[in-house]
Structure 1
Amino acid sequence: MKTRGFEIVSHYQDKDIILPARKTRLSAGYDLAAAEDKTLLPQQVTLIATGLKAYMQADEYLGIHIRSSFAMKNRITLINSQGIIDADYYNNPDNEGHIMIAVFNHAQEPVHLTRNTRIAQGIFYRYLIADHDHLSTAAVRSGGFGSTGEN
């Protein structure tokens, strides 16, 4: 039985995607890299494909954090400060759970990424449910990115 980890989405199976790894024994984050070359335009939001999906336990999520060195060198932030990949995002019918990194380029010039540039880190977290939570057993994800609603 699988506990938590990463897999390559089917569209990227033949593209030599590298599975995320921690760089040291005490590192918390798994480095996530760009699956293809991409240009981040100035003052714009860009979605960066990773070619990856993540599986985990039902009471866990994968937190997405920008790599500090990448952010400082390039003036890049995550558009939502921290991304959250829920356990039921894995293998969803819309996009197979493909992890996309939404970044904002604060610079006045474009930033050119090459494939395999490490841009973010994924950290697995466990979370708690409130006593009055009635959705924890009833609601089921029906789609991919942004599928839990507008509000």
Structure 2
Amino acid sequence: MIPEVLILFEDWADRGLPLPAYETPGAAGADIRANLPPNERAEGVTLAPMERRIVATGIRVEIPPGFEMQIRPRSGLATKHGITLPNTPGTIDSDYRGPLGVALVNLGPAPYTIHHGDRIAQMIVAPVVQTGFRVVDRLSDTGRGEGGFGSTGRS
């Protein structure tokens, strides 16, 4: 059985925009669109270089228990314009029912305008395993040991 994410539109949202969707049969992420409030639709939302902003999607979601939704950047926006997520991946927990906003940041050299209906991020629904935690006196030995950042080499 395929998990199903339930979607509720905000009262002000444009219901004519497409729901999140997989753009190709092999896509791992479903594209999410900016669904801007009525007062922002005509001009869009402009992000100055280094500016961060939460962009509205006009929806709320109900994610099945045992799953999470990861919000990730779109590669084209990131490489062409420097538009990415400052908290990538953003995690939406299965018990969250508030508005779905996408935190964006402009790392590019020029202002960038997000228009109503633009694809701004992608979502991946993934299983979650919750674990227990236990204090011990010693951890097991491994070949890597305490080697941290960069300790395994360049390639």
TM-score, L = length of structure 1? 0.75
Tell me if structure 2 keeps the 8 A contact 1:51–1:98: yes
**Rg: which structure is higher?**
2
Match of 1:34 in 2: 34
* Distance apart, 1:60 and its partner CA: 0.7
Q: What letter corresponds to residue 103 of structure 1 in structure 2? A: L
Aligned length: 126
Distance 1:126 1:79 in 2: 23
Secondary structure of the equivalent of 2:11?
helix
Structure 1 residues 50, 66: closer, same or farther in 2, change over 3 A?
Answer: same
* Distance apart, 1:76 and its partner CA: 1.4
Match of 2:60 in 1: 53
Match of 1:111 in 2: 112
Secondary structure of the equivalent of 1:47?
strand
* Distance apart, 1:6 and its partner CA: 4.5
* Distance apart, 1:14 and its partner CA: 4.6
Distance 2:58 2:125 in 1: 18
Runs of 4+ aligned structure 1 residues displaced above 3 Å come to 12-15
Deviating more after overlay: 69-78 vs 7-16: 7-16
Match of 2:85 in 1: 78
Distance 1:12 1:38 in 2: 17
Q: What letter corresponds to residue 30 of structure 2 in structure 1? A: Y
TM-score, L = length of structure 2? 0.73
| Structure 2 gap ranges (5+) | 37-43, 135-155
Tell me if structure 1 keeps the 8 A contact 2:9–2:15: no
Q: What letter corresponds to residue 17 of structure 2 in structure 1? A: I
Structure 1 residues 119, 10: closer, same or farther in 2, change over 3 A?
Answer: closer
Give the root-mean-square deviation of aligned CA atoms: 2.0
Match of 1:125 in 2: 126
Match of 2:103 in 1: 102
Distance 1:41 1:11 in 2: 29
| Structure 1 gap ranges (5+) | 91-96, 134-151
Match of 2:10 in 1: 10
Distance 2:6 2:123 in 1: 10
Q: What letter corresponds to residue 7 of structure 1 in structure 2? A: I
Structure 1 residues 31, 6: closer, same or farther in 2, change over 3 A?
Answer: farther
Q: What letter corresponds to residue 102 of structure 2 in structure 1? A: I
Identity rate, percent: 30
